[in-house]
Amino acid sequence: MKFGIIQFPGSNCDQDCYHVLADVFCQPVRYIWHKDKTLGDVDCVIVPGGFSYGDYLRAGAIARFSPAMKAIAAHAKAGGLVIGICNGFQILCEAHLLPGALIRNRGLKFICDHVYVRVETIDSPFTNACRRGQVLRIPIAHGEGSYFAEPEVIESLEREDRILVRYCDKNGNVTDAVNPNGSLENIAGICNEGRNVFGLMPHPERASEELLGSEDGRFIFESILRGAAVYQ
């Protein structure tokens, strides 16, 4: 499977993603500069974490206008896989490839910590290697990670099983006490109607090797690799 990783001015998790895909999963991967108007021959595009354009205006608001985003939109429309991690999730929402928005954490502070998320559905190219209800330990690092959307959008996400992961405790209990940023319904990751675009606030690339304290992020990448065959 061929991967492309978008690089914006301010991206800081692009190399982490590259390392995991190339060195851990031994997959062909290359960088795609934000000014590129085409993606080339890739199956899955990763919009990585970081601070694209310094998060001026608001996170992802400028990056959405980069030429590469038009190519990503076309890729997604054609059924190609797209995953946005942290700042990438923010960018996908700003580009209207995913509904809703990521706003300031309710504590108004940047959070960098390991959290637990519960897999809500395995019916997606991004969670099919998991078990429904499986708890993953994955780190977060964001200041604007609180997911917000209108009530009708939340209702639609619930009804269509498009909430892929929620913040929980280590036993899988979803409560406000373990919601690190104030996201509505403890939402940590969602997909689009076509189920081929995924936005995730936690960083699976930072939890794909035992040396880093958790390998749970591997389930996301393993799902993508397995889903390439299942969801074609």
Catalytic annotation present for 114: no
- Domain of residue 26 covers 3-230
Q: What is the pLDDT of residue 57?
A: 78
Instruction: Please tell me which residue in 86, 130, 168, 191 is annotated as part of the active site.
Output: 86
Closest CA relative to residue 190, chosen from 160, 229, 219 = 160
More confident of the two residues 154 and 54: 154
Q: Model's pTM, two decimal places?
A: 0.95
More confident of the two residues 231 and 155: 155
Catalytic annotation present for 203: yes
Catalytic annotation present for 168: no
The radius of gyration computed from the CA coordinates of the chain, to the nearest angstrom, equals 16
Query: Which residues have C-beta within 8 Å of that of residue 39, sequence separation ≥ 6?
Result: 4, 32, 45, 68, 71, 72, 75
- Residue range 29-78, pLDDT digits in tens: 999 999 999 999 999 999 999 999 888 878 889 999 999 999 999 999 99
Q: What is the pLDDT of residue 59?
A: 87
Q: What is the pLDDT of residue 228?
A: 65
Closest CA relative to residue 126, chosen from 71, 159, 83, 185 = 83
Q: How far is CA 77 from the centre of its chain?
A: 18
CATH classification of the domain holding 148: 3.40.50.880
Residue 130: C-alpha distances to residues 124, 139, 201, 219, 226 (Å): 10, 18, 18, 6, 11
Q: Name the percent of the chain lying above pLDDT 70.
A: 98
- Residue range 171-207, pLDDT digits in tens: 999 999 999 999 999 999 999 999 999 999 999 999 9
Domain count, the chain: 1
Q: What is the pLDDT of residue 55?
A: 83
Q: Is the Cβ–Cβ distance between 142 and 181 less than 8 Å?
A: yes
Q: Is the Cβ–Cβ distance between 106 and 146 less than 8 Å?
A: yes
Cα separation of 135 and 153, whole Å? 25
